[in-house]
Structure 1
């Protein structure tokens, strides 16, 4: 299938639209998480830190790095939508949002989920418009910083929210431990079999799939225009990157 084709099956597409509406709502996202028996998705009472971001933006890596350092804290993460962000902002819950350069993030998501590209691009725009509205209530960290200098991330969280965080993993052996935590979480969520296109660490299979998807974006005026909107939003939120 082409990356611009509809999501396979009208039922699946309708299901995603319904879920998107629920998860984008500050008031429905919590009940959605409970209905899915995944309370860790939403910052309910007692949450110490919400970690959010567009998919494929180092969300899993940073979450497990924080768990490596501070396993006693209660985290919420991985709904990838506006509902938890709006709620955390209103309830003044500490919040870390990850952002990645849109071309890389969107291509990575399309490869991982076999989603059509316009859906992925519009998702990026919708998500980071919400982040822009709540910018003063959160710490925003770029993908490149999150994956290369966790000390900056931890210092920003300490300075903004007064969180008492122990040191981040920095040694190669410690980073390897965190990566193994990421792989294990993928194993658990997939029932033991991890597709190299879906695992939350770099793989050759993902690198090999990138050129075809990028060519499709470059060959479509509509997709290229959507990507420009994503890039404008990215540079608005990360002016120093």
Structure 2
């Protein structure tokens, strides 16, 4: 199982994992639901949880899904990660930076933690090109009712946006507003506690 808050390297991790394996491996992914992580752990499934800096993840998510607000997305970050804090010693946490720079070391940690033997990803030009293709395929096949973490559904007419520099700057300012100070502190605490178990890049 590979799970994380949106914009935390989910597509890259799932695609890179599949590219690295000699044959397809079933993976539960992209539910963005802590209950699924907990269920996977109860079943003894190897679980990788992806972790990204809360400001970067929230701003990117709202930047491409303008029907969301920064406060709503920040609360979604907390809804995903806070229930997992007490279980942090039972799964492997992978930072966004570590996953995208040296995913092989993250897979190695999964193997060591769960006693499995998945092939490690190598960051070669050929493999990264294959990951782009697989990521596009995964993105094109994704359908669903909405974003349960934010307790909202995407309006039928809503289109995804590619945030401009000005709009992203505005979202960063919104994230840093005084009204969100309490939520920011909670998100930072969650991130920092999980980072303590994160497999960082060895490069």
Q: TM-score range by the shorter chain?
A: 0.7 to 0.9
- Hey, what does 2:2 align to over in structure 1? 51
Q: 1:196, CA displacement in angstroms?
A: 7.3
Please state how far the C-alpha of 1:207 moved relative to its aligned partner.
Answer: 5.8
The answer for the alignment partner of 2:140 in structure 1 is 187
1:77 aligns with 2:29: yes
Match of 1:212 in 2: 170
Rounded to whole Å, the distance in 2 between the matches of 1:182 and 1:153 is 19
Corresponding residue SS for 1:137 = coil
Aligned equivalents of 1:88 and 1:175: distance in 2? 28
- What 5-or-longer segments of structure 2 have no aligned partner? 144-158
Count how many residue pairs are aligned between Structure 1 and Structure 2: 180
Q: Which residue of 2 aligns with 1:237?
A: 194
Q: Normalising to structure 2: TM-score of the pair?
A: 0.81
Conserved 8 A contact 2:111-2:117: yes
Q: 2:129 aligns with which of 168, 176, 201?
A: 176
Aligned to 2:84: 131
Bigger relative contact order, structure 1 or 2, given CA contacts below 8 A and separation 6+? 2
Shift of 1:134: 1.6
Distance 2:69 2:87 in 1: 28
CA contact (8 A) 1:117 1:223 kept: no
What's the C-alpha RMSD, in Å, of the aligned pairs? 2.0
Pairwise mapping of residues 1-241 of structure 1 onto structure 2 (< 5 A)?
50-70=1-21, 71-114=23-66, 115-189=68-142, 197=161, 205-206=162-163, 208=165, 209-218=167-176, 220-239=177-196
Larger Rg: 1
Maintained 8 Å contact 2:12/2:135: yes
